[in-house]
């Protein structure tokens, strides 16, 4: 409140902009501030962002953002010029502090929060239960965008780079979250990978453009991913690309790959290496007896989101030729299969126990090919070859499986430990340190990163 000053002394915060307190700040390579741009009743935006302007004035269509959103702050020329300080000047104390602080090379990020009354609490995680989904995007932004080599000069030092020095080519490994998820769902796996696949030769990236935005269909989500990846590829100087996808993230990627090929990104600019899916419903959910029972009531269809209709094969996807198909069925069209053929390694992980009726869609098999597995007290992951070619019928699921099984997939079955309390399927083994999935994926990448295309399994 700056109420600790009087005629004999200045407020403590004002002392912090004088020596010897300012000099140490100049030694940092990066100076970064995150500030809630709206609704933060406790800390006003201008004081959190160290700028004279009040609320963020750049026009932003919030309806297009997945909140909480993080956007770069105003350009340099928008930072106001404070009158030069003189000994006799009678500027307000805030202006005196700003006069010094804006001379430092701050990188400002504006945060648009989701909950107005709790904005100041949600900007960082203080409670796993109360503000997990509100605070994780900020943590993800920090981890994903500022885990960079720091052996360069500070932002306020300009250093000439010799023309002969070239940046090393990068293998870009992209982790894509699943249904109703956020990028931070993949952070445990990302940290495992970053420990082994280090910069500057590798970059582990997690898109956040679809955070809590997975119900408007595969096309919409894939289009957002395309814009994000094109920018990431440009920044990364990448020549190779791999995808590790959870749940519906695998379907997004299959649609995305066709767009990347149309943009001549793959295989022209980037060599596709790994395409790994974890519990991705490649054949939809019609194998699920519960889903079939619910969908037998036709009046439920209007209540299901576009994504739900697509997963249950009750959607009408309009193709470029004007025909209508189920979008999952159309993903087996040769134009969408060709990008998959470009990858050196195609890998499927499928949860077996407690999701047995869905294992076939996760691992692109049929009901006849599901192995008989008895759960144990320990988590298990094992290789599952398609020992016999299933007999396909005329159903949509079998037509999709028949097309997809022509590709050289490597299949792994996941058997969660048998416990008294049912093991939460799906997301549980993504971010749980007791589960071997993250280590299994890491070891698979390490053992196959330089190997040629895998044989048909």
Render pLDDT for 270-327 as a digit per residue (tens, 0 to 9). 999 999 999 899 988 865 545 544 444 444 555 578 888 898 888 888 887 778 889 9
Strand ranges across the sheet with 409-415:
202-205, 170-176, 238-246, 271-278, 345-351, 409-415, 380-383
Domain assignment present for residue 6? The answer is: no
Domain assignment present for residue 123? The answer is: yes
Residue 157 confidence (pLDDT): 47
- Please give the residue range of the domain that contains residue 115: 14-146
22-44 residue pLDDT tens: 888 888 888 888 887 766 667 77
Are 228 and 361 members of one domain? yes
Contact 358, 281 (CB under 8 A): yes
Are 192 and 71 members of one domain? no
Q: What is the largest CA-CA distance in the chain?
A: 91
pLDDT at 328 over 60: yes
Residue that the structure tokens 């796993």 belong to = 128
Distance CA 237, CA 201 (A): 10
Strand 69-72, strand 271-278: pairing = unpaired
Least Cα distance to 203 among 216, 215, 190, 214 occurs for 190
Domain assignment present for residue 155? The answer is: no
Domain assignment present for residue 151? The answer is: no
Q: In the listed set 112, 146, 180, which residue is the last one of a domain according to the structure?
A: 146
pLDDT at 347 over 90: yes
Domain assignment present for residue 351? The answer is: yes
Distance CA 280, CA 375 (A): 21
Q: In the listed set 146, 179, 209, which residue is the last one of a domain according to the structure?
A: 146
- Output the six-digit token pair for 398: 């079998």
358-407 residue pLDDT tens: 778 888 875 555 555 666 666 777 777 665 566 667 788 888 988 998 89
C-alpha distances in angstroms, 186 versus 129, 193, 202? 18, 11, 17
Distance CA 402, CA 129 (A): 44
Are 186 and 48 members of one domain? no
Please report which confidence band the pLDDT of residue 346 belongs to, taking 50, 70 and 90 as the band edges. Answer: very high
Assign 272 to helix, strand or coil.
strand
Are 315 and 359 members of one domain? yes
Domain assignment present for residue 223? The answer is: yes
Contact 88, 147 (CB under 8 A): no
Assign 244 to helix, strand or coil.
strand
Are 122 and 180 members of one domain? no
Are 254 and 320 members of one domain? yes
C-alpha distances in angstroms, 18 versus 11, 28, 275? 12, 17, 55
Residue that the structure tokens 């453009």 belong to = 209
- H/E element holding 193? helix 187-196
Please report which confidence band the pLDDT of residue 340 belongs to, taking 50, 70 and 90 as the band edges. Answer: very high
Q: What's the N-to-C CA distance of the chain in angstroms?
A: 68
**Contacts for 82 with CB less than 8 Å, ≥ 6 apart:** 52, 91, 95, 98, 99, 102
260-271 residue pLDDT tens: 999 999 998 999
Domain assignment present for residue 365? The answer is: yes
Domain assignment present for residue 158? The answer is: no
Least Cα distance to 326 among 400, 247, 244 occurs for 400
Distance CA 238, CA 229 (A): 11
Q: How many domains does the chain have?
A: 2
Find how far residue 3's CA is from the centre of its chain: 44
Are 120 and 255 members of one domain? no
Are 198 and 264 members of one domain? yes
Are 204 and 135 members of one domain? no
Are 333 and 281 members of one domain? yes
**Burial class of residue 322 (count of CB atoms within 10 Å of its CB; 0-12, 13-18, 19+):** exposed
Q: Give me the percent of the chain exceeding a pLDDT of 70.
A: 67
Higher pLDDT, 249 or 48: 249
Contact 134, 40 (CB under 8 A): no
Mean pLDDT, range 416-424, rounded to an integer:
57
- What mean pLDDT is reported for the chain? 76
C-alpha distances in angstroms, 282 versus 120, 249, 334, 335? 41, 11, 16, 17
Are 177 and 60 members of one domain? no
Are 260 and 305 members of one domain? yes
CATH code: domain of residue 208? 3.40.50.1820
153-205 residue pLDDT tens: 454 444 444 444 567 889 999 999 988 888 878 888 888 898 899 888 999 99
55: left (phi over 0), alpha (psi -120 to 50) or beta: beta
CA dihedral 370, 374, 380, 386 (to 10 degrees): -20
Q: List the single range of 113-117, 253-257, 263-267, 285-289 with lowest mean pLDDT.
A: 285-289
Least Cα distance to 194 among 241, 231, 144 occurs for 144
Contact 66, 140 (CB under 8 A): no
């Amino acid at each position: 409140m700056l109420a600790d000053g009087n005629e004999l002394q200045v407020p403590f915060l004002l002392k912090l902009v004088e020596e010897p307190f300012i000099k140490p700040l100049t030694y940092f390579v990066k100076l970064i501030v995150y500030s809630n741009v709206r609704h933060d009743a406790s800390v006003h935006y201008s004081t959190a962002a160290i700028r004279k302007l009040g609320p963020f004035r750049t026009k932003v269509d919030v309806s297009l953002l997945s909140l909480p959103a993080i956007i770069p702050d105003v350009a340099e020329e928008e930072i106001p010029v404070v009158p030069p300080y003189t000994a006799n000047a009678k500027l307000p104390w805030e202006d005196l502090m700003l006069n010094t602080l804006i001379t430092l090379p701050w990188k400002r990020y504006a945060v648009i929060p989701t909950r107005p009354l709790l904005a100041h609490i949600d900007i960082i995680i203080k409670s796993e239960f109360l503000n997990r989904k509100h605070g994780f995007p900020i943590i993800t932004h920090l981890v994903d965008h500022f885990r960079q080599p720091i052996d360069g000069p500070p932002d306020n030092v300009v250093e000439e780079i010799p023309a002969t020095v070239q940046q090393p080519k990068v293998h870009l490994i992209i982790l894509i979250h699943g249904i109703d998820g956020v990028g931070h769902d993949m952070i445990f796996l990302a940290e495992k990978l970053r420990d082994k696949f280090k910069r500057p030769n590798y970059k582990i990236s997690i898109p956040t453009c679809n955070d809590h935005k997975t119900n408007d269909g595969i096309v919409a989500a894939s289009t957002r991913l395309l814009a994000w990846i094109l920018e990431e590829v440009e920044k990364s100087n990448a020549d190779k690309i791999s995808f590790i996808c959870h749940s519906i993230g695998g379907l997004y990627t299959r649609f995305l790959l066709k767009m990347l090929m149309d943009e001549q990104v793959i295989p022209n600019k980037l060599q596709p290496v790994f395409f790994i899916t974890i519990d991705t419903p490649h054949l939809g959910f019609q194998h699920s007896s519960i889903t079939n029972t619910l969908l037998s009531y036709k009046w439920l269809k209007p209540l299901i989101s576009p994504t739900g209709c697509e997963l249950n094969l009750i959607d009408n996807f309009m193709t470029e030729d004007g025909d209508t198909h189920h979008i999952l069925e159309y993903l087996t069209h040769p134009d969408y299969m060709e990008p998959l053929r470009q990858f050196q390694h195609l890998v499927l992980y499928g949860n077996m126990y407690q999701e047995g009726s869905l294992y076939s869609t996760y691992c692109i098999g049929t009901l006849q090919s599901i192995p008989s597995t008895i759960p144990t007290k320990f988590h298990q992951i094992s290789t599952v070859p398609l020992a016999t070619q299933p007999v396909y019928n005329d159903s949509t699921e079998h037509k999709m499986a028949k097309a997809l099984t022509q590709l050289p997939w490597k299949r792994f079955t996941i058997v969660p430990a048998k416990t008294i309390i049912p093991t939460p399927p799906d997301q549980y083994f993504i971010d749980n340190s007791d589960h071997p999935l993250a280590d299994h994926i890491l070891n698979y990448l390490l053992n196959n990163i330089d190997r040629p295309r895998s044989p048909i399994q």
